[in-house]
Amino acid sequence: AAAPAFILKHPRAVNVDLQTDATLQVDISDALSERDKVKFTVHTKSTLPNFKQSEFSVVRQHEEFIWLHDSFVENEDYAGYIIPPAPPRPDFDASREKLQKLGEGEGSMTKEEFTKMKQELEAEYLAIFKKTVAMHEVFLCRVAAHPVLRKDLNFHVFLEYNQDLSVRGKNKKEKLEDFFKNVVKSADGVLVAGVKDVDDFFEHEKTFLLEYHNRVKDASAKSDRMIRSHKSTHTTALLRILLHHYAYYCTTTVKVEQLLMTDVSSHLLQKIEARVAADEDLKLADLLKYYLRESQAAKDLLYRRGRALVDYENANKALDKARAKNRDVLQAETSQQLCCHKFEKISESAKQELIDFKTRRVAAFRKNLVELAELELKHAKGNLQLLQSCLSVLKGDT
Amino acid sequence: AQETQLFSLVPAVRNPQKSSDLPVSSSSTSLPMFRNKTFSVRRRFSDFLGLYEKMSVKSSLHGCVIPPPPEKSVMGMTKVKVGKDDPSSAEFLERRRAALERYLQRVVCHPLLLQDPDVREFLEKEELPRAVNTQALSGAGFLKMINKASDAVNKMTIKMNESDTWFEDKLQEVESEEQQLRKLHAVVDSLVNHRKELCGNTAVFAKSMAMLGNSEDNTALSRALSQLAEVEDKMEQLHQEQAASDFFIFAELLADYIRLLGAVRGCFDQRMRAWQRWQEAQSTLQKKREAEAKLLWANKPDKLQQAKEEITEWEAKVTQYERDFDRIGVTVRKEVLRFEEEKAKDFKGQIVKYLESMLQSQQRLIKFWEAFLPEAKAIA
């Protein structure tokens, strides 16, 4: 079986709390997955005069999202903002491999088994697809919601230009990934080894973010592992087989309809079991993954501020030196003023960004934890009913 | 209706020097054959094997489905690491104790076995002489023994031609069910292992959530995350209990019935052997008659007298063996029906037990999440 092509129409809403604004609304209205490419249809509705039309769509691929993200990171003017984290690369490799293996093994299993496995794997593929669409959509929505980034020219080009942006992403992306790996390594160094910040707010944020980021990383990895275990613990499948076995080999009085009922119940129990794991994935694992990326983006902001502070301090020293030698004083003064201005600008916007980050974080956790609890309760109550129904059938069968 | 006896076995204090002594307590409400209403004796594991040995050789019990005793080896059927392989581990002891208890309960549920003097002696007598000849059972195990005997029967050259297909059909059914149970057992094993992994991963996740909660600087969210960590801890406990359920309710049931079906096969083999004995006797009788005919021609009066006596002897044997064969056929039919009723009851009982434990699990789960929900809503 060749890797399937999937089309997704109007995917479900994102799991991060975002404000919607009539002046600029962005969403991914549908997506197509074929072979090794995913094509997202980015749909925009806007009352802003910058655009030629009030509603329009373009097709974009993952590399173009990365290009946009990187252009924000490289832009000095945005040094004082938390850059919305780039969406992760769509990764269907594992899923595709499984589907391929299934196709190869088609001859060795019954038609029933094959169909069942195919359905399961396709559902898995679809779930991954939905997630990647959601992640790309969240990124765009965050940009659209940001008072400054939404005005960015590259963003408008991304939204409106209906040709391929010709971003031969690979080399560039690889270079940037390397660059960022080094940045992260030294960023923590700058943040940790640096002098204690005069500003209490930033000192607190530095300490907080370093620890928080590490703990979110840990929690994210462990939630993934737990949910994977959950997905491979097939209690209800066993129950179903046992009920079949009982019906076939053990009933002396054959009450077919009643036994059919237990089969229906156990089938529904299986569905709930799958949903429980899927919901934990959506509400917990995805939430943690997202805040792992967001907290990294916040750390990056602190790093940029830290670097600007270092530049400022160095400029001060250079000015003192120039004054002492009475040479190139004007140059040194200009440079020092620029550094000072840059540092203060970053500090000002960074403060607001970090406060907003906290607000968003708290809101997102609240939303997801409440939804998680409500879903767990809903599923447990569903299970209760089905179990009780099975029990009454069995107890009534004499 | 048969009065059912209640048994409970209490594990003895561990003593690594000698094999564990198990107290066997019995209580009976009205069976007249027992001296007291409740009584308790101490038995060794080998005594249980010895009891089986005694029952399995009695001709009066031929054709009966005699419950097989538990395997001596820890692993036996399962690849599940239940506790350690260490015989002193609590899990191993509990597993053995429960298995021995089920064994005795099956024995006393059998109307014929309950009447058996060896069974009564096992339950009542203060001191039992040490059981011998249990090597076959404790070493190779019950199923190996059954299969060996089965192979011997199948190798015999005279085959039965049955007008009534009940026996053939039923044996096929038994063999097919045994196969299914083996598959099921493998599924349960795998489930138990996955669930234990889930337990471990849930505990680890709970800790990481607690840590995250500690570093969260919004007070209400920090609290909620700690509460979530506690919920996950409780979930881990639920998973642990469920894993024990999986094992004690299902894995052991399936293992027991795989061996019981082996015992049922054993009955069918016994019937085959009875038939073969009858056939061999008939052919021996035929030979004796031919010999007599030859002697009549040869005119040897002494030898003739002996031949006539032998013929009488073998005619009696043929009659006896034919009666034995018919009787064992009747017994096997009755036993299979009784066994099937027991099996249906057992399976239903265990499935109901498991569903009820799942139900309780869900009810507790609901309590955990209902307690958590307001904490989540309080986040601000």
Contact in structure between A334 and A365 (CB atoms under 8 Å): no
Alpha-carbon distance A322 to nearest alpha carbon in chain B (angstroms) = 45
Residue A103 in domain: no
Structure tokens at A201: 């707010």
Cβ–Cβ gap B195/A233 under 8 Å: yes
**A374 touching B (Cβ < 8 Å):** yes
Residue A372 in domain: yes
Residues A318 and A371 in one domain: yes
Cβ–Cβ gap A369/B359 under 8 Å: no
Q: Any idea what the CATH number is for the domain that residue A263 is in?
A: 1.20.1270.60
Contact in structure between A383 and A269 (CB atoms under 8 Å): yes
For residue A180, pLDDT beyond 80: no
Considering only CA atoms, which of A297, A396, A302 is closest in space to residue A343? A302
- Closest partner residue to B194 (CB to CB) among A233, A249, A395 is A233
Q: What is the pLDDT of residues B13-27, one digit of tens each?
A: 333 334 456 666 665
- Tell which CATH classification among 3.40.50.300, 1.20.200.10, 3.30.1520.10, 1.20.1070.10 matches the domain B1-155: 3.30.1520.10
- The residues in A 229-258 lying below 8 A from B, measured between CB atoms, are 229-230, 232-235, 237-239, 241-243, 245-246, 249-252
Residue A201 CB neighbours (<10 A): 13
Residues A224 and A153 in one domain: no
Torsion of CA B12, B18, B24, B25, to 10 degrees: -40
Mean pLDDT across B203-224: 96
Chain B residues closer than 8 Å to A204 by CB: 217
Half-sphere exposure of B309 (CA within 13 A, CB side): 6
- Closest partner residue to A369 (CB to CB) among B208, B228, B380 is B228
Long-range Cβ contacts of B131-135 (<8 Å, 24+ apart): B131/B44, B131/B46, B131/B47, B131/B49, B131/B50, B131/B51, B131/B53, B132/B50, B133/B50, B133/B53, B134/B46, B134/B49, B134/B50, B134/B53
- Closest partner residue to A246 (CB to CB) among B348, B356, B380 is B348
Q: What is the pLDDT of residue B311?
A: 93
Query: Nearest chain A Cα to B347, which residue?
Result: A246
Eight-state DSSP code of residue A26: E
Of A30-34, A319-323, B90-94, B227-231, the one with minimum mean pLDDT is B90-94
Residue A61 in domain: yes
Considering only CA atoms, which of A90, A94, A93, A86 is closest in space to residue A133? A90
Query: Nearest chain A Cα to B236, which residue?
Result: A226
Where do the CATH 1.20.1270.60 domains begin and end in chain B? 179-379
Chain B residues closer than 8 Å to A223 by CB: 205, 208
Confidence of residue A262 (pLDDT cuts 50, 70, 90): confident
B179-379 folds as Substrate Binding Domain Of Dnak; Chain:A; Domain 2 (1.20.1270)
Which of A154, A169, A184 terminates a domain? The answer is A169
Mean pLDDT across A190-202: 70
Which residues on adjacent β-strands are paired with residue A46?
A: A24
Torsion of CA B148, B151, B155, B160, to 10 degrees: 120
User: What is the sign, positive or negative, of the torsion defined by CA atoms of A177, A180, A184, A189?
Assistant: positive
Pairwise CA distance, residues A141 & B9, whole Å: 67
Q: What is the pLDDT of residues A132-144, one digit of tens each?
A: 999 999 999 999 9
Cβ–Cβ gap A374/B209 under 8 Å: no
Contact in structure between B148 and B265 (CB atoms under 8 Å): no
Q: How far is CA B132 from CA B21, B49, B255, in A?
A: 17, 9, 26
For residue A13, pLDDT beyond 80: no
For residue A368, pLDDT beyond 50: yes
Q: Is B100 helix (H, G, I), strand (E, B) or coil?
A: helix
Domain count, chain A: 2
Q: Is A43 helix (H, G, I), strand (E, B) or coil?
A: strand
Given the structure tokens 């960022």, which residue do they identify? A180
Pairwise CA distance, residues B66 & B75, whole Å: 23
Pairwise CA distance, residues B243 & A238, whole Å: 13
Q: Is A92 helix (H, G, I), strand (E, B) or coil?
A: coil
Chain B residues closer than 8 Å to A251 by CB: 344
Alpha-carbon distance A290 to nearest alpha carbon in chain B (angstroms) = 15
**B194 touching A (Cβ < 8 Å):** yes
Residue B108 CB neighbours (<10 A): 22
Residues A143 and A285 in one domain: no
Where do the CATH 3.30.1520.10 domains begin and end in chain B? 1-155
Residue A177 in domain: no
- Closest partner residue to B376 (CB to CB) among A228, A251, A370 is A370
Residues A158 and A206 in one domain: no
Mean pLDDT across B354-368: 95
Answer with the residue of higher pLDDT: A93 or B262: B262
- The residues in B 232-271 lying below 8 A from A, measured between CB atoms, are 242, 246, 250
Mean pLDDT across B281-309: 87
Residues A6 and A45 in one domain: yes
Answer with the residue of higher pLDDT: B18 or A227: A227
Confidence of residue B12 (pLDDT cuts 50, 70, 90): very low
**B371 touching A (Cβ < 8 Å):** no
Q: Best of A205, A217, A235, A287 to disrupt the B interface by mutation (most B CBs within 10 Å)?
A: A235
Q: How far is CA A13 from CA A10, A61, A131, A137, A138, in A?
A: 9, 20, 10, 9, 9
**B57 touching A (Cβ < 8 Å):** no
Pairwise CA distance, residues B129 & A268, whole Å: 56
* CB burial of residue A147 (10 Å; 0-12, 13-18, 19+): exposed
Q: Any idea what the CATH number is for the domain that residue A46 is in?
A: 3.30.1520.10
Cβ–Cβ gap B379/A373 under 8 Å: no
Domain that holds residue A20: 1-85+133-169
Answer with the residue of higher pLDDT: B42 or A299: A299
Prediction ipTM score: 0.86
Cβ–Cβ gap A374/B212 under 8 Å: no
- Closest partner residue to B202 (CB to CB) among A226, A246, A251 is A226
Residues A16 and A149 in one domain: yes
Residues A229 and A152 in one domain: no
Pairwise CA distance, residues B143 & B166, whole Å: 24
Q: What is the pLDDT of residue B28?
A: 57
Residue A202 in domain: yes
Q: What is the pLDDT of residues B144-172, one digit of tens each?
A: 888 888 888 777 766 677 777 899 999 99
Is the whole model's pTM more than 0.90, yes or no? Answer: no
Q: What is the pLDDT of residue B306?
A: 87
Q: Best of A387, A391, A392 to disrupt the B interface by mutation (most B CBs within 10 Å)?
A: A387
Structure tokens at B321: 């063996």
